[in-house]
Structure 1
Amino acid sequence: MKVVLQKDVLNLGDAGDVKEVADGYARNFLIPRRLAVRANDGNTKMALHQKKLAGLKREKRVKVMKDLAAQIDGKTYEVTVKVGENQKLFGSVTGNDVVNAIRKTGVEIDKRKLEIADTIKNLGEYKVKVRLAEGVVPQILVKVVAEA
């Protein structure tokens, strides 16, 4: 059965794609969950239109994220933490701490966009990737310093 995908479906396709799937898969899974509709002339035209609009939205979003990436790429952000004896941190530096440091400069970023390689449990400098959009991944430097 030919279906037009309404939403992105893992291992099948993106919204707006016209796919040939097994009848049972379409009737029992895709259509009841509103992930797809049967392909006919009207639905196919509508899907192509939706795909075009989604592409335009994606391009606009990437442009905005590239502007944001230019603001933060390569910059150093300082996170102040409490330390105990032997300069050991109480806990660790989280994505929330890094976002708060970035927020102080007037830039808003979602903490889920941060890609921290290892847990930050010591003082020092750490490279953190910020995955803003597809293909837009600036890198920032997080400097962890002890509270005075």
Structure 2
Amino acid sequence: MQVILRNDIDGLGKRGDIVDVADGYARNFLLPKGHGIKASAGAIEQAAKMRKARDLRDASDREAATTVASTLVPKVITLTAKAHDGKLFGSIHDAEIVAAVAEQTGIEIDRKAIIIDDPIRTLGQHQVKASLHPEVSFPITLDITEA
């Protein structure tokens, strides 16, 4: 059965895509939950409009993420934390990084966009990755100093 997706579904497609799925999957999951509509001539035209809107929104989001990345990459964000002998009491979390970025640069980013590979538990310079868009990820340099 051909279905037009109304929402992004992992492993299946994005909003506005026309996908072939099993009849039972469409009848029992996609259609009742509102994730898709059955493909017809008029619905296919509507799907084209959804895809065009999605592409425009995606392009503007990518451009905004690139602008933020070009602003944040050369900057060093300074954070203060309680420490003893170079080791922190606890660790630096994504919420603290987001607050410091907003305070020092005026750029608001979502805390879920910050990716910390290893916990930050020492003083000095560290790098974390920020992913504001699936195609735009960049490093943020942190300088952790003792409070």
TM-score grouping bracket, smaller chain normalisation: over 0.9
2:70 matches 1:103 = no
Amino acid at match of 1:117: D
Rounded Cα–Cα distance in structure 2 between residues aligned with 1:19 and 1:108: 36
> 2:5 aligns to what?
5
> Unaligned 5+ residue runs, structure 2?
none
Q: Percent of pairs identical after alignment?
A: 34
> 2:86 aligns to what?
87
DSSP-derived class of the 2:80 partner: strand
DSSP-derived class of the 2:33 partner: coil
> 2:42 aligns to what?
42
> 1:30 aligns to what?
30
Deviation of 1:35 (Å):
0.7
Tell me the TM-score normalized by structure 2: 0.93
Verify the 8 A CA contact 1:74 1:139 in the aligned structure 2. no
> 1:121 aligns to what?
121
2:68 matches 1:55 = no
Q: How many residues align?
A: 146
Provide runs of 4+ in structure 1 moved above 6 Å.
none
Deviation of 1:81 (Å):
0.4
> Unaligned 5+ residue runs, structure 1?
none
> 1:73 aligns to what?
73
Deviation of 1:113 (Å):
0.7
DSSP-derived class of the 2:126 partner: strand
Deviation of 1:7 (Å):
0.9
Rounded Cα–Cα distance in structure 2 between residues aligned with 1:115 and 1:74: 18
Verify the 8 A CA contact 1:74 1:138 in the aligned structure 2. no
Name the structure with the higher strand share.
2
Deviation of 1:87 (Å):
3.2
Q: Deviations over 1:10-46 (max 9, x none)?
A: 2111111111111111000110111111110011110
Rounded Cα–Cα distance in structure 1 between residues aligned with 2:59 and 2:31: 29
Rounded Cα–Cα distance in structure 2 between residues aligned with 1:56 and 1:42: 22
Tell me the TM-score normalized by structure 1: 0.93
Rounded Cα–Cα distance in structure 1 between residues aligned with 2:135 and 2:51: 20
